[in-house]
């Protein structure tokens, strides 16, 4: 069974109706969580903590959707480029 990891992050947006961050260096990484419920709880806590800041918004990213272990590797992944 694969893990379903979730990333919770947020920060100040340029426009509260959009999703573009004012300064990406200031993005707050709340953490990576092992399931959606834990991520949701962390997201909700941060959203409530920053409720007075209309330009601050938090998101949940479904990390498990970014990589399907059973799918073929991308051409760049197969190159095995190492720095």
Q: Domain-by-domain residue ranges, the chain?
A: 6-79
> Is domain 6-79 given the CATH code 3.30.70.2400 in the classification?
yes
* Six-digit token string for 37: 């419920």
Task: Give per-residue pLDDT as tens, 3-12.
Answer: 889 999 999 9
CB within 8 Å of 47: residues ≥ 6 apart: 10, 57, 58
* Strand ordering across the sheet containing 56-62: 28-33, 6-12, 56-62
pLDDT digits (tens, 9 = 90+) for 40-76: 999 999 999 999 999 999 999 999 888 666 666 555 4
Sign of CA dihedral 51, 31, 60, 39: negative
């Amino acid at each position: 069974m694969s893990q379903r990891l979730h990333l919770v992050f947020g920060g100040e947006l340029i426009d509260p109706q959009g999703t573009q961050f004012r300064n990406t260096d200031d993005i707050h990484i709340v953490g990576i969580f092992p399931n959606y419920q834990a991520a949701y709880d962390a997201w909700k806590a941060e959203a409530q903590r920053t409720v007075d800041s209309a330009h601050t918004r938090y998101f949940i990213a479904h990390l498990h959707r970014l990589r399907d272990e059973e799918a073929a590797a991308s051409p760049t992944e197969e190159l095995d480029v190492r720095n």
